[in-house]
Amino acid sequence: LGAGQRFLHLAIAHSDRPTQRRDLIISDVSGEFFRQARDSREEARKLAFVGRADHFVLLLDGAKLLSAETRAASRMEADQILRSMLDVALLSDRSYVDVVFTKWDKILGSGERPAIEAFVADTRVLFEERFATRLGRLRFYYTALRTSPSGLLPPGYDVDQLLKPWLEETWLEEAPSRTRTVVASNRSFDRFGETI
């Protein structure tokens, strides 16, 4: 793997079914790769592992939504990442995409909460208009991972809702007759799980 690209392996199970383990491989990739993918079709194609993903999770940084200066840019960047992945067919009408608004506790504690919530609602409208028919599934989540000083949300808020579908649902299992995207890479890692 290149610099800035790591994959984390977690084996997890339901607490009431501890022997039924599921393996999760989660990408830990520098945001710089996605910034470059925004700018160039050639760079987007290099993110071949996206074509193998059972779930594509797009994070919108709640801290950037707090500022009026960076709010619209944050949405635009997320939109461009999704479209650049669709443009090179690493995402398709079979893909499961989760859009996650992070640090939601900060937004709830912000003096600009009404404006930000209206903006997020508008973002959902725009994304649904633009992507709902081009993806297999598009869902939205609001997470707060750390204990916040405001105490408005418990740490780990909404993460279980996000995690559960990752374990139980994959577009491949729901549409077994369909083949996956052919990955344009010779690396064994990128071709993991490819239909032969």
Partner 1 sequence: VKTALQLIMGLPMAGKTTFLAALWHVVDQPEVPTSLVLHEMPPQREYLNQIRDEWIKCRPVARTALSSQRTVNMVLTDRTTGNTAELLFPDLSGELFASQIADRRWSDDFDRLVQQAAGVLLFLNPASVVEPQAIEDVAALAEALGAPTETVSSAIEPWQHSHVPTQVQLVELLQFLRWRRRTDRMRVGLVVSAWDLIGAGVSPQDWIRQRLPLLHQFLECNSDWLTTATYGISAQGGTYSADTVQALLNGNPRPSKRIVVAGPHCDPHDITAPIKWLLESGE
- Residue 142 or 157: the one with the smaller Cβ distance to partner 1 is 142
Q: How far is the CB of 73 from partner 1 (least distance, A)?
A: 5
- Residue 13 or 76: the one with the smaller Cβ distance to partner 1 is 76
Contact 132, 90 (CB under 8 A): no
- Residue 64 or 191: the one with the smaller Cβ distance to partner 1 is 64
Give the number of other CB atoms < 10 A from CB of residue 14. Answer: 13
- Residue 74 or 95: the one with the smaller Cβ distance to partner 1 is 74
Contact 14, 20 (CB under 8 A): yes
178: left (phi over 0), alpha (psi -120 to 50) or beta: beta
Tell me whether strands 96-101 and 5-12 are parallel, antiparallel or unpaired: unpaired
Q: How far is the CB of 31 from partner 1 (least distance, A)?
A: 14
Q: How far is the CB of 80 from partner 1 (least distance, A)?
A: 7
Q: How far is the CB of 63 from partner 1 (least distance, A)?
A: 15
Burial of 9 (0-12, 13-18, 19+ CB in 10 A): exposed
- Residue 104 or 127: the one with the smaller Cβ distance to partner 1 is 127
> Which residues here bind partner 1, judged by CB under 8 A?
38-42, 68-73, 76, 79-80, 83-84, 87, 115, 118-119, 122, 126, 129-130
Give Cβ neighbours of residue 95 (< 8 Å, ≥ 6 apart). 53, 56, 135, 136, 137, 171
Residues 3, 67: Cα–Cα separation, whole Å: 31
Q: How far is the CB of 115 from partner 1 (least distance, A)?
A: 7
Amino acid present at 112: E
Q: How far is the CB of 183 from partner 1 (least distance, A)?
A: 20
> Could you tell me the two tokens for 36?
């470059």
- Residue 6 or 41: the one with the smaller Cβ distance to partner 1 is 41
